[in-house]
């Protein structure tokens, strides 16, 4: 928050206090007055993030007044910010993923790298940070597995599906032609380790031609992985292990929208849930 924005937010608040409540002393401001200001801002169609910024400015100002003994107490210290609903992550459809992957040309280094990257993100459900951290030694072609290092250095083994092997071998051969002093699996054309924004750009680049969904990111591929497994009747514990979640609750929260969809389909189609006319 800039000093100018901070000052403007405070000016707006105290002008509101004086105009609507004839209050010009900070010590006279109550939680109800701050709540009224929030309602007023909301009616003016100000975005929730902006309202929360303004409220934070007022709360911060009162913390300062308390520290310098300008007020003896503050009624607004515990005033809550407005909760912002997270945008629902809408997974890619299986058709969108197939169309995207099938249209990535892999006859050169960058094409092979990008295709393998997208295939791995979808086939394993790995996080962006996890795919960046993959090393050559993490691959076992003999066992067809990947050794993945997740959050808080948690280790897990993820199976490699057979359809990945050809593009993996193609990429590994092309990678040998690059000069680099590390063993990270994915590298740039100049041999450097890949980075966050590169992975994001790769996913967006290829999916923008085959989906109208607004969000096109590595996380959506991870979400698609979990969703499609659930649709194919994989159990939650298996999905939990593959995603690298520490608790089943995290996995349930991750796929809660899909669980609701499946529950509705179950109640509609399962023989024991169906009712006949007249009953």
Other C-beta atoms lying within 10 Å of the C-beta of residue 20: 12
3-state secondary structure of 18: helix
Left if phi > 0, otherwise alpha if psi is -120 to 50, otherwise beta: which for 92?
beta
Q: How far apart are CA 111 and CA 119, in angstroms?
A: 12
> How far out from the chain centre does Cα 201 lie?
15
What are the tokens at 165? 């092997």
Catalytic residue among 113, 115, 127, 128: 127
Is 266 tagged catalytic?
A: no
3-state secondary structure of 40: helix
Alpha carbons within 13 A on the beta-carbon side of 264: 5
Catalytic residue among 222, 223, 228, 240: 222
Q: How far apart are CA 101 and CA 114, in angstroms?
A: 10
Is 245 tagged catalytic?
A: yes
DSSP 8-state code for residue 158: E
What sections of the chain are H helices per DSSP? 3-21, 31-43, 48-67, 94-102, 109-124, 128-133, 165-175, 196-207, 218-231, 236-243, 248-254, 256-269
Phi, psi values for residue 187, rounded to 5°: -135, 165
Is 105 tagged catalytic?
A: no
Left if phi > 0, otherwise alpha if psi is -120 to 50, otherwise beta: which for 235?
beta
Catalytic residue among 151, 154, 182, 274: 151
Is 127 tagged catalytic?
A: yes
Tell me if 138 sits within 8 A of 185, measured CB to CB.
yes
Is 128 tagged catalytic?
A: no
Is 147 tagged catalytic?
A: no
> Which residue reads 């000052």 in tokens?
7
Q: What are the residue numbers of the active site?
A: 127, 151, 219, 222, 245, 254
């Amino acid at each position: 928050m800039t000093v100018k924005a901070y000052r403007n937010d405070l000016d707006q608040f105290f002008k509101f206090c004086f105009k609507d409540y004839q209050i010009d002393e900070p010590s006279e401001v109550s939680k109800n007055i701050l709540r009224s200001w929030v309602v007023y801002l909301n009616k003016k169609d100000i975005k929730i993030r902006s309202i929360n910024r303004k409220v934070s400015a007022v709360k911060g100002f009162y913390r300062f007044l308390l520290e310098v003994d300008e007020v003896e107490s503050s009624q607004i210290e515990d005033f809550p910010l407005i909760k912002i609903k997270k945008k629902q992550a809408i997974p890619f459809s299986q058709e969108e993923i197939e169309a995207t992957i099938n249209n990535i040309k892999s006859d050169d280094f960058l094409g092979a790298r990008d295709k393998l990257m997208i295939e791995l993100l979808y086939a394993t459900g790995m996080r962006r940070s996890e795919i960046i951290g993959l090393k050559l030694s993490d691959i076992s072609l003999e066992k067809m597995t990947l050794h993945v290092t997740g959050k808080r250095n948690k280790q897990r083994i993820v199976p490699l599906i057979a359809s990945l092997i050809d593009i993996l071998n193609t990429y590994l051969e092309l990678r040998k032609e690059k000069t680099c002093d590390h063993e990270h699996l994915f590298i740039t054309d100049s041999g450097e380790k890949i980075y966050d924004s590169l992975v994001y750009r790769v996913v967006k680049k290829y999916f923008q031609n085959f989906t109208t969904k607004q969000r096109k990111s590595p996380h959506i591929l991870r979400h698609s992985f979990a969703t499609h497994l659930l649709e194919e009747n994989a159990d939650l514990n298996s999905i939990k292990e593959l995603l690298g979640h520490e608790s089943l609750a995290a996995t349930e929260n991750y796929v809660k929208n899909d669980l609701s969809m499946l529950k509705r389909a179950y109640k509609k189609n399962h023989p024991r849930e169906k009712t006949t006319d007249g009953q």
